[in-house]
Amino acid sequence: MVKYKYILKGVGKLIYHHLYNKFRKQENVKAGVIGAGQYSTAVITQSMFNPFLTIPVVADQDINAAKLAYHRAGIPDENIVECEKYSDAIKAIEAGKYVVTTDPMILMKLPLDIIAEGTGVPEAGALYGYEAIKNGKHVAMINKETDSVVGPILRHLAEKAGLVYTPVDGDQHGLLMGLVSWARGLGLEVISAGKARDAEYVYDRKTNIITCEADGKTVLETKKVHLTKETEKYINPLTDDVKNYICRRREIMSDLPTAGDFDLCELQITANATGLMPGTPTTYQPISRISEIPKVLCPVDEGGLLENKGIIDVVTCFREPHEAGLGGGIFIVVSSENEYSRMILTTKGLLSNSSGTASLIYRPYHLCGVETPTSLLCAGLLGISTGNDEYLPSYDLVKVVQRNMKKGEILGGDYTPDLKASILPAEATANGAPIPAHLLNGNKLIKDIQAGTLLTYEMVEPQSDSILWKLRKQQDELFLR
């Protein structure tokens, strides 16, 4: 298989490349990708620049999507072979071709080291993750919907088999785990941590209007907020009255789109991997300038919102057009018990609160699949995860009904307005217990439900033939009984 010229040579090598060369167990990593969406396509395109990584097969229900991913990686049609049988696929790979297929199960028997599961479908992710482990393959779980429900049991099964189950660098929760671990490794205290929404609120002083923007564009169908003289003060930099400012901003901008359930999904996964916890079931979700984050997400007795330390949250970045945003990145607010160390933090570039007891470290980007090869290579070459050492089901993402719903209605996922997410302590499968959000996807209500109701197991049709449900029960038996 032809590779593009690799750009990192000599002095361009980073610590990871030295580790790959020194400790790798094999020449390179062969990965199979399931799901050829935007994220996975970037994994494939970037693999062409990496001498340690080869992706010889991509599976997707839409064969044209799989082909397009290779086309975007610069692979011509004559080097792409469509296969629906294992025997055809192995011949094509041995001949140096790239394989596309609509049957992900073919990948389980092919000579691959790791499966990158990126379908975004909870049931599919559970099936392919489980089958990959059963067939001796590492798993890179891009699919956060699956991970939020059964990630801990899949990791447990992988470890029992001598394999790696890993989150992925490039997605916010995977990167946040790494940033938290890095800070703790330095001996810093993580007061709070979180992610920035992709969407940001942008204030134009000339027009006195606030809009919601993502990727430098106004979000489709967003509403604009027109400020009055009475409300304008609350969009200025924070005073000492943090709680009042944050509450008023939320009121002023209540017509703008807020954090999505997918945002809380990533926080829940990170909480389970780091021991951090949500401050409230729906999190504080402050609207904040970058410089204000260490003032807001610090303890109450230091002027912030937090009743406890070790909190995880999602921030909507508030800025003016000329100011840099958070770019859907990640952040931690840290401190040190040592006064001299705190002085270093506050005088060498970190934004801090007024007392200097909380300092912000942030990464204003997450590069999706472009960064994911690091996770694939750490698993395949080094036998380690880029996530945390422990992954316990301490919290679940759950859903509250937003309108009256009838028996027989089919429940949607994280993008439906019918349901709103919260993060609650995990409970074992039982009637009356909150049902994890992504056990709901595509399933049917078996009774009428009133708006404002938290969905529990007895309200939803059970799925006895679902691998996702079976793994969840297995997870509950292992961790929660």
User: Does the pLDDT at position 294 exceed 60?
Assistant: yes
Residues 428 and 380: their CA atoms lie apart, in Å, by 33
Decide the pairing of beta strands 200-204 and 311-319: parallel
Q: Report pLDDT for 449.
A: 98
User: Does the pLDDT at position 8 exceed 50?
Assistant: no
Mean pLDDT to the nearest integer, 340-359 = 95
Judge contact between 345 and 352, C-beta under 8 A. Answer: yes
Residue range 35-59, pLDDT digits in tens: 999 999 999 999 999 999 999 999 9
User: Does the pLDDT at position 13 exceed 60?
Assistant: no
User: Does the pLDDT at position 12 exceed 70?
Assistant: no
Q: Which domains, from first to last, does the chain contain? A: 10-170+369-382 (3.40.50.720), 176-366 (no CATH), 395-463 (3.90.1210.10)
Residues 45 and 48: their CA atoms lie apart, in Å, by 6
Which of these, 479, 475, 440, lies nearest to 461 by C-alpha position? 440
Judge contact between 8 and 93, C-beta under 8 A. Answer: no
Q: Please report how many Cα atoms fall inside a 13 Å half-sphere around the Cα of residue 182, on the Cβ side.
A: 13
Q: Please report how many Cα atoms fall inside a 13 Å half-sphere around the Cα of residue 205, on the Cβ side.
A: 8
Residue 37, exposed/middle/buried by CB under 10 A (0-12, 13-18, 19+)? middle
Mapping DSSP to helix (H, G, I), strand (E, B) and coil, where does residue 100 land? strand
Q: Report pLDDT for 2.
A: 55
Tell me, yes or no, if the pTM score tops 0.75: yes
Residue range 204-213, pLDDT digits in tens: 999 999 999 9
User: Does the pLDDT at position 61 exceed 50?
Assistant: yes
Question: Residue 176 to residues 181, 270, 314: CA-CA distances in angstroms?
Answer: 8, 7, 12
Mapping DSSP to helix (H, G, I), strand (E, B) and coil, where does residue 329 land? coil
Residues 263 and 422: their CA atoms lie apart, in Å, by 11
Residue range 176-231, pLDDT digits in tens: 999 999 999 999 999 999 999 999 999 999 999 999 998 777 776 678 899 988 89
